[in-house]
A and B are shown apart, each in its own frame.
Chain A
């Protein structure tokens, strides 16, 4: 398939998952933020934005600016509206490849972005709506696109971004390390009920973090998402099945996953910042490596003269 199309699909996967993850994080933390005194709230809003990988544009940064930056700012790839716009733009460029169901659901989502009140109460409904739309996009991608290379690129983007988003959810513990933060972390990931059923009476930060980081069966855990990404990479490049690797992305994803999966520790919480940093780094390195290997790079587009 065309590299350009593959790249579009990869980014559709990433952007849709990013919108989903950001909506989850915003929904849960907005509730928390609302319970804080104004000054504290502004600081926390700033830190939350930092966890999402952005900086405030001006010194005046409060709740309203946070909502703009994470939900409604169409110019920024960090925001939900920006991500969904970018996903739709990518689908437009690969329209002949994606199914009409997938394209239409992304397009409808794009046109629905403006139909929400941008205050706190409206944002709750907005986040809810985004979760429904992204679930629909994901579902259509899984059920109306052949699981060939094109779908593998989409799924690869999705699982890498998912690992990254879960890492950010866990990092929000540093932003709001208040009493019940592990409940928030789990709610972010939609993992609350699953966690409770698995862990019975074992509540607490440590167990919640462990679940989101290491659980082999929960689909939004980092280990699970990285394994998904690894599977996609293996299927995309079936030549190196026996020994070693020729694909840098596989090395990066595989090393990160196996390190986490088989890492024994008594003090997960103090190591958490490093884990999160490494996971986010691994995701971005893997993404670069995938770009280098599969997608056309601008610097390779040089005109080559005829050999005389």
Chain B
């Protein structure tokens, strides 16, 4: 069986979905950016492809790259066909993501301080104060290091016309970057043929970038800051990611019970006594962080952290209270926020969004619930979302009641036909819908966007839900490089013989030879 067999019914299936296909232009011509991938796949038979897919899954299981599914550890499904982004498209995305992060950073600084964005009439005060994640506990102080959105994941999708649009912002605890790192390692071994002739931008510098940003934003006056990763523990579904990042940064992975707050400083219990902690990369929800401020019954956090942050004794990344910026109703104002804070036009557009508090919009939406996607404003991971065309009559009726009862709690968007990428399914490739989560690291001076990001794929035909908890998988994401900067591999290398020799060892003693001479 050859590639043409593996792609036999592809164009027909792609036609059915009506979505933009990332690999093939209409007529099943591989796009230029996919040339190498198509070439590599052409050489493989079905047996090769399945053997490699199995081997990749086994590697993931061996390495513990799993997610928790109903109490069972499963390898996170990685598809063998990568998602390829050409350099010119990436440079737009990169700028757009960085721009968004800068705007959200400015917005957060503002809402926890003077709220000029409200007094200038850009967004209603009520919108901010009714957000479930607007935490008055952190009002009125600038966090140590001056950064609030250290790590962010901005979800983008491609509509039927091929235009990238931002779907949501994640500036609380964005997860998934560990899969980006692991996917690349697995693909380098699983589909080596596709790497050869093109330059794919590496992702392995992420942990170093992250560590350097975290260290840079440490409280002032600390020379050699101690960074820790704070995890809720081994039962968290993203625990693998916590261990991987702590390991790759070479820092301690701590749980709340390992920390103590005293005199607005944070310490961890070690065999050598208490050691000061300067920067906490927080991987638990704000609600569980500090029982003195939030949920008093939380056993995951450490009492006193928020006061320590307020006093400038510790940097918490991301800052407490960031959730107000990824509220989905606030999302609908982000283009305005970009114009207001940065005096720039948004580089990437939003998806059209109906604000259900506005009477006209609400009536319009309630008439068309079966055509739209309705989302709760503070949900993540696809929780609570209702896709109109797929919902039953009863579900829509229940939704209608909930929307009318709490219009502030919901937004509505048109159903987007997310773009598709060929994905192995049984014995052939079929088009499957994907999204993309680029990750950005902000060190206060500069927002760095990891080339690529996490491409999630809905493994069921026609499904638009890419979450791993609901049958989603992922793809390695390749950003091609065509910049004039010479890739490191091609720089002229000093050869062993040409390099100037340095000699520091003592002249070799010929002890043995002299011995033999003496004996003679």
Q: Which residues of A contact B (CB under 8 A)?
A: 30-31, 34-38, 40-41, 120-121, 124-125, 174, 176-180, 183, 193, 195-201, 203, 248, 251, 259, 263, 265, 267, 270-271, 273-275, 278, 289
A273 with B501, Cβ < 8 A, contacts A34-B196, A37-B196 known: yes
Please determine whether B248 and A196 come into contact, CB atoms closer than 8 angstroms: yes
Please determine whether B250 and A35 come into contact, CB atoms closer than 8 angstroms: no
A38, A203, A271: the one contacting B502 at CB < 8 Å is A271
Please determine whether B501 and A35 come into contact, CB atoms closer than 8 angstroms: no
Q: Which 9 residue pairs are nearest across A and B when measured between Cβ atoms?
A: A196-B250, A179-B488, A34-B192, A178-B488, A124-B189, A270-B502, A120-B192, A31-B188, A178-B489
A263 with B196, Cβ < 8 A, contacts A121-B190, A248-B511, A273-B499 known: no
B52, B193, B489, B503: the one contacting A274 at CB < 8 Å is B503
The distance in angstroms between the C-alpha atoms of A41 and B195, with both chains bound, is 12
> Is B383 interfacial (CB 8 A cutoff)?
no
B205 to A: closest C-beta gap in Å: 8
B193, B197, B224: the one contacting A37 at CB < 8 Å is B197
The distance in angstroms between the C-alpha atoms of A304 and B228, with both chains bound, is 73
Please determine whether A197 and B499 come into contact, CB atoms closer than 8 angstroms: no
B200, B500, B502, B504: the one contacting A35 at CB < 8 Å is B200
Please determine whether A125 and B488 come into contact, CB atoms closer than 8 angstroms: no
Please determine whether B52 and A121 come into contact, CB atoms closer than 8 angstroms: yes
Please determine whether A259 and B506 come into contact, CB atoms closer than 8 angstroms: yes
Please determine whether A36 and B505 come into contact, CB atoms closer than 8 angstroms: no
B267 to A: closest C-beta gap in Å: 18
A259 to B: closest C-beta gap in Å: 6
Return the CB mask of B63-102 against A: 1 if under 8 Å, else 0. 0000000000000000000000000000000000000000
Q: Which residue of B lies closest to A263 (CB)?
A: B504
7 further A-B pairs in the complex, CB-CB below 8 A; given A34-B196, A200-B250, A273-B496: A35-B200, A37-B197, A120-B192, A121-B192, A177-B493, A193-B247, A263-B504
Q: Point out the residues of chain A lying under 8 angstroms from B251, CB to CB.
A: 200
> Is B211 interfacial (CB 8 A cutoff)?
yes
Q: Point out the residues of chain A lying under 8 angstroms from B391, CB to CB.
A: none
Please determine whether B494 and A40 come into contact, CB atoms closer than 8 angstroms: no
The distance in angstroms between the C-alpha atoms of A197 and B208, with both chains bound, is 13
> Is B137 interfacial (CB 8 A cutoff)?
no
> Is B204 interfacial (CB 8 A cutoff)?
yes
Q: Which residue of B lies closest to A183 (CB)?
A: B204
- Among B188, B189, B193, which residue has the most Cβ atoms of chain A within 10 A? B189
Q: Point out the residues of chain B lying under 8 angstroms from A263, CB to CB.
A: 504
Q: Which residue of A lies closest to B200 (CB)?
A: A35
Q: Which residue of B lies closest to A181 (CB)?
A: B488
> Is B13 interfacial (CB 8 A cutoff)?
no
The distance in angstroms between the C-alpha atoms of A279 and B491, with both chains bound, is 29
Q: Which residue of A lies closest to B56 (CB)?
A: A121
> Is B490 interfacial (CB 8 A cutoff)?
yes
Q: Point out the residues of chain A lying under 8 angstroms from B292, CB to CB.
A: none
The distance in angstroms between the C-alpha atoms of A234 and B248, with both chains bound, is 39
The distance in angstroms between the C-alpha atoms of A38 and B489, with both chains bound, is 12
The distance in angstroms between the C-alpha atoms of A259 and B504, with both chains bound, is 10
Chosen A-B contacts, 21 in total, with CB atoms closer than 8 Å, are A34-B196, A35-B188, A35-B196, A37-B197, A38-B197, A40-B489, A41-B196, A121-B55, A125-B55, A180-B204, A180-B205, A196-B250, A198-B250, A200-B251, A201-B211, A259-B505, A263-B504, A270-B499, A270-B500, A274-B501, A274-B505
- Among A34, A251, A263, which residue has the most Cβ atoms of chain B within 10 A? A34
> Is B283 interfacial (CB 8 A cutoff)?
no
Q: Point out the residues of chain A lying under 8 angstroms from B512, CB to CB.
A: 248, 289
> Is B215 interfacial (CB 8 A cutoff)?
yes
Q: Point out the residues of chain A lying under 8 angstroms from B491, CB to CB.
A: 178
Q: Point out the residues of chain B lying under 8 angstroms from A195, CB to CB.
A: 250
Within 8 A of A (CB), among B382-429: none
> Is B30 interfacial (CB 8 A cutoff)?
no
Return the CB mask of B476-499 against A: 1 if under 8 Å, else 0. 000000000000111101111001
Q: Point out the residues of chain B lying under 8 angstroms from A38, CB to CB.
A: 196-197
Q: Point out the residues of chain B lying under 8 angstroms from A274, CB to CB.
A: 501-505
Q: Which residue of A lies closest to B205 (CB)?
A: A180
Return the CB mask of B452-466 against A: 1 if under 8 Å, else 0. 000000000000000
Q: Point out the residues of chain A lying under 8 angstroms from B490, CB to CB.
A: 37, 40
The distance in angstroms between the C-alpha atoms of A71 and B321, with both chains bound, is 55
The distance in angstroms between the C-alpha atoms of A35 and B202, with both chains bound, is 11
Return the CB mask of B97-115 against A: 1 if under 8 Å, else 0. 0000000000000000000
Q: Which residue of A lies closest to B194 (CB)?
A: A34
> Is B249 interfacial (CB 8 A cutoff)?
yes
Q: Which residue of B lies closest to A265 (CB)?
A: B504
Q: Point out the residues of chain A lying under 8 angstroms from B129, CB to CB.
A: none
The distance in angstroms between the C-alpha atoms of A35 and B190, with both chains bound, is 13
The distance in angstroms between the C-alpha atoms of A259 and B509, with both chains bound, is 13
> Is B212 interfacial (CB 8 A cutoff)?
yes
The distance in angstroms between the C-alpha atoms of A38 and B197, with both chains bound, is 8
Q: Point out the residues of chain B lying under 8 angstroms from A41, CB to CB.
A: 196
Q: Which residue of B lies closest to A125 (CB)?
A: B55
Return the CB mask of B186-222 against A: 1 if under 8 Å, else 0. 0011101101110010101100100110010000000
Q: Point out the residues of chain A lying under 8 angstroms from B489, CB to CB.
A: 35-36, 40, 176, 178
Q: Point out the residues of chain A lying under 8 angstroms from B204, CB to CB.
A: 180, 183
Please determine whether A174 and B52 come into contact, CB atoms closer than 8 angstroms: no
- Among A177, A193, A201, which residue has the most Cβ atoms of chain B within 10 A? A201
The distance in angstroms between the C-alpha atoms of A36 and B198, with both chains bound, is 8
A149 to B: closest C-beta gap in Å: 24
Q: Point out the residues of chain B lying under 8 angstroms from A31, CB to CB.
A: 188-189, 192
A91 to B: closest C-beta gap in Å: 29
Q: Which residue of A lies closest to B493 (CB)?
A: A177
Q: Point out the residues of chain A lying under 8 angstroms from B188, CB to CB.
A: 31, 34-35
Please determine whether B511 and A177 come into contact, CB atoms closer than 8 angstroms: no
